[in-house]
Copies of this chain bind each other. A is one copy, B any other.
Amino acid sequence: MPDAALTISDLIQQRLDDLTRAERQLAHSILENYPASGLGPLTALAKDANVSVPTVARMVQKLGFKGYPEFQAELREELKAKVKNPIAKHDTWTGGAPSGHILNRFTDAVIDNIRHTLGQIEPATFDDACAMIAETDRHLYIVGGRLTHTLAEYLFLHMQVIRSQITHIQSTSNAWPHYLLDVKEGDVFVIFDVRRYENNTLKLAEMAHAKGARIILFTDQWRSPVHQLAQISFSSRIVVPSAWDSVATTLLLVETMISSVQNLNWSDTKSRMEELEEMFDQTKLFRKFT
């Protein structure tokens, strides 16, 4: 039986490198709902993790237990100790750290931001925005600023797979006026503008608006002046214990939107994805396994 001071969860993570592919797959499955899944029968665990029964038996022995029953006994001991111990109330995010550690404080703040932000979003409005972005017969412009161009780029990269006719404009570059030449009435702009609102971005929005484009704005709780021109605005809370703001909540919205738009355009997206996969295969840019 392995060291008592270490939890099985720790032990598994620590020895993750010594494990084989199937064993690692199993390990992740155990950690997925820890410790419940490890307390069931070996057979069920194997099925759950999509590995064979012997793989489970081998792994627990590799971890230092005499057999699966001993492994389970240890898990139960751990559980017993945890319930007895009032500190295990799981009010902190990362187990070992004091609640005052920056990891816990920052995460608290972000979760709080998410709660506030989501609470103020009308699902119908969100769906409308997704539908607008999914209109493949209009050109889609994605605009970011000094920091937010990273979000814009992230959205752009995914939209590239989902649809054609997209342009990523960096408002910080001075080349952007050229892009506006071709804007048609009804085209869609997704604009990111958060605190330290940028003059360039506002100008760009004004010109786009004047040309009859529709604007979807991602901003913060104090709202960029662009919001007066925008058809739809999403305001994320961005306050965290830091000298800077957090765009984590905004990213959450962007990712959700990607997922939603992808579903709206699924037939298109699917074939585009397959084509992309094939090109990746040919260029050998990515590794297929491990």
Contact = CB atoms under 8 A, between A and B. Distances in A.
A42 to B, nearest CB: 13
A290 B197 contact: yes
A137 interface: no
A138 interface: no
B103 A126 contact: yes
B93 A119 contact: yes
A271 interface: no
Question: Which bracket fits the contact residues of A?
Answer: 35 or more
Interface string A180-199: 00000000000000001111
A119, A120, A126, most chain B CB atoms within 10 A = A119
A282 interface: no
Interface of A: 13, 16-17, 24, 28, 31-37, 39-41, 69, 72-73, 76-77, 79-80, 83-84, 86-88, 90, 93-97, 101-103, 106-107, 110-111, 114-116, 118-124, 126, 146-147, 149-151, 153-154, 157-158, 172, 196-200, 202, 221-223, 225, 228, 240-244, 246-248, 251-252, 255-256, 258-260, 262-263, 269, 273, 280, 284-287, 290
Contacts of A198: 285-287
Given A83-B34, A93-B118, A94-B121, A103 B225 contact: no
B96 A124 contact: yes
Q: Is the interface of A mostly helix, strand, loop or mixed?
A: helix
A39 B119 contact: no
A102 B260 contact: yes
Contact of A115 (B39, B93, B202): B93
The 8 closest A-B pairs by CB, nearest first: A242-B259, A97-B123, A93-B118, A36-B80, A106-B256, A150-B154, A150-B150, A196-B286
A13 B278 CA distance: 48
A256 to B, nearest CB: 4
Given A256-B102, A285-B198, A90 B96 contact: no
Contacts of A35: 79
Contacts of A197: 286-287, 290
A102 B255 CA distance: 11
B255 A199 contact: no
Most buried by B among A115, A151, A202: A115
Given A242-B259, A258-B242, A150 B147 contact: no
Contacts of A119: 93-95
Q: Which of A36, A146, A149, A285 has the most CB of B within 10 A?
A: A36
